[in-house]
Amino acid sequence: MARPPTTEPHVERPGPAEFRDPLVRRELQKAAVWFGLALLIVGVIVLAQPLLLIVGGMIFAVFLDGGARLLGRVLPIRRGLRLLLVLILGFGFLAWVIWFAGTTIAAQFEALRGVVTLQFNRLMEFAASLGLIPKGPPTNLGSQLLGSVGRLTSAVGSAIGALTSVILMIVIGIFLAIEPRIYDRGIAWMLPIRHRERFYRIAAHVGFTLRRLLFGRLLGMVFEGVFTWIMLSLGGVPMAALLGLITGLLAFIPNIGAITSGVLMVAVGFSAGPHQGLWAIFVYFFVQNVDGYLVIPYIARRTVDLAPAIVLAMQLLMGALFGLLGVLFADPILATLKVMLVDLSGAHAEDEGETPEVVGKKPKPA
List, in sequence order, the alpha helices (H) in the chain. 22-46, 48-72, 79-103, 106-129, 141-147, 159-178, 180-189, 193-234, 240-250, 256-272, 274-290, 296-302, 308-322, 324-351
Taken as a whole, the chain contains a residue count of 366
What Rg, from alpha-carbon coordinates, does the chain have?
Answer: 27
Nearest alpha-carbon partner for 56 in 326, 337, 323: 326
Query: pLDDT tens, 218-232?
Result: 888 888 888 888 888
Q: What is the predicted pLDDT for the residue at 74?
A: 84
List phi, psi (to 5°) of 104.
-105, -45
What are all long-range contacts of 164-167, with beta carbons under 8 Å and residues at least 24 apart?
Answer: 165/53, 165/56, 165/325
Which residue from 341, 343, 317, 344 is spatially nearest to 329, judged by alpha carbons? 317
Question: Are residues 84 and 64 in contact, defined by beta-carbon separation less than 8 angstroms?
Answer: no
Q: Report the C-alpha dihedral over residues 297, 215, 319, 147, rounded to 10 degrees.
A: -90
Q: Residue 27 has what pLDDT?
A: 75
Distance from the Cα of residue 267 to its chain's centroid: 28
Alpha-carbon distance 180 to 161, whole Å? 27
The list of the chain residues with pLDDT below 70 reads 1-22, 24, 100-114, 116, 126-127, 130-161, 292-305, 351-366
pLDDT tens, residue by residue, 268-277: 888 778 888 8
- Let me know the angle formed at the C-alpha of 198 by 196 and 202, rounded to the nearest 5 degrees: 115
Instruction: Report the C-alpha gap between 273 and 79 in whole angstroms.
Output: 53
**pTM assigned to the model:** 0.68
d(CA 155, CA 273): 41
| Amino acid at residue number 291 | D
Burial of 53 (0-12, 13-18, 19+ CB in 10 A): buried
151 and 323 Cβ atoms separated by less than 8 Å:
yes
Contacts of 64 (CB under 8 A, 6+ apart): 83, 86, 87, 90, 173, 174, 177
Residue 23 three-state SS: helix
Contact by Cβ (8 Å): 324, 156: yes
Separation CA 191–CA 106 (nearest Å): 52
Question: Torsion angle of alpha carbons 109, 110, 111, 112, nearest 10°?
Answer: 50
